[in-house]
Amino acid sequence: MLCLLALLLGLPILTQAQEQDPLQSQTQIQAQPEAQTQTSTKQSTQEVQSQQHDKKAQNAAAEQDAPPRPTVAPARAISLAPHITEILFAAGAQDHLIAVDSSSDYPPAAKDLPRVGDALRVNPERLLELKPDQVWAWQANQIGPELQHQLQQTQISLIFAAPEKLDDIPAFVRLAGDSLDTADVAVPIAALLDNQIAALRHNSRLGETVSVFLEIGSEPLYTLARDPLIQDVLNTCKAQNIYAHHAAVAPTISLEDVLHKRPQVVIMAYRDPAQLRARHLFWEKHLGLSPHALLNLNPDALYRPGPRLIEATRELCEQLDRYRAQIS
């Protein structure tokens, strides 16, 4: 569980208006002389315009006489996970962020924000000193019951953001917009993400489902198994995780077991070209896989459940489609 936490956090909502019967209206118009109808319509328009003008004048006078509205300070938020920081930035709420966890490094502007601890250890004194209105966390065990109790006592909102499917990501962007009064930015961004996800799912993939092994660590060898979000990503790309039914979320596994299951594709996420090359050679030797069966993605984009995961899903689908084309 600790290795999964480190991976995902970036560590090594009538009244009906009455309608005139259209048939009755048409009969009345036909019974009236044309000139009378035009005069009546003109008078009606003038009356409406006069009423609108009077209403605007009344509203302007009321606003002028009303006492000045008190200035409401913007809500102050703290993010305790890199993917949450990315969600808040996507929602246009970056000016509300007063601190983040030590692993929040995207977008680049996040690096300039104060830190309140890392993925496993939150500094409660520092967090409370900053007097946030909202604290956004990944899971309850990230901050513990004592800090949760302190937040409740000080009336600081605690919001958990743990996406379990791709559609949850734009949903959390909307929630951030609603919570931090940035809906004018969040709503269109969330709609864009919704459209991108829909396009991925409606694009029927060519060929059969591909069996894949997700390598998230090599020494020791371990993988992501029973993770609903990654499973949604793979389903979207018409791929099947060979460890989807494993009892653990991020199990350590043996090379022999991987060789026995014989995945068609290995999905990796390495930044270092030398390390990636070494892993290519390793799997070419042990599984006899060709280079187009060895895929690599940005680890932060793939394993942080934020907006960039949608783009990473598109890239993964494209790479798997190229693999299918090679073997067809």
What is the distance between the alpha carbons of residues 43 and 35, in angstroms, rounded to a whole number?
12
221: β partners: 218
43: β partners: none
Contact criterion met (CB below 8 Å) for 213 and 261? yes
Q: Kind of pairing, strands 221-222 and 217-218? A: antiparallel
Closest CA to 101 of 139, 63, 56: 139
Question: Which domains are present in the chain?
Answer: 74-199 (3.40.50.1980), 207-327 (3.40.50.1980)
The pLDDT of residue 32 is 38
Tokens 């060789």 appear where? Answer: 259
Query: How much helix, strand and coil, in percent to the nearest 5, is found in the chain?
Result: 55, 10, 35
Contact criterion met (CB below 8 Å) for 303 and 223? no
Per residue in 299-317, pLDDT (tens digit) is: 999 999 999 999 999 999 9
What is the distance between the alpha carbons of residues 124 and 122, in angstroms, rounded to a whole number?
6
What is the distance between the alpha carbons of residues 216 and 307, in angstroms, rounded to a whole number?
20
The pLDDT of residue 205 is 65
The pLDDT of residue 156 is 96
Q: Quick one: tokens of 119?
A: 């993925």
The pLDDT of residue 61 is 56
CA distances from residue 292 to 12, 17, 237 in whole angstroms, order as listed: 27, 63, 16
Phi, psi angles (nearest 5°) of residue 217 = -165, 145
Q: What is the block-wise mean pLDDT of the chain (328 residues), using blocks of 10 residues? A: 54 38 35 38 42 52 55 84 97 97 96 89 92 94 89 95 97 98 97 97 80 94 94 96 93 96 97 95 95 95 96 96 89
The pLDDT of residue 39 is 40
Q: Quick one: tokens of 16?
A: 């009906």
The pLDDT of residue 73 is 73
Per residue in 168-195, pLDDT (tens digit) is: 999 999 999 999 999 999 999 999 999 9
Contact criterion met (CB below 8 Å) for 79 and 101? yes
Q: Quick one: tokens of 7?
A: 């991976």
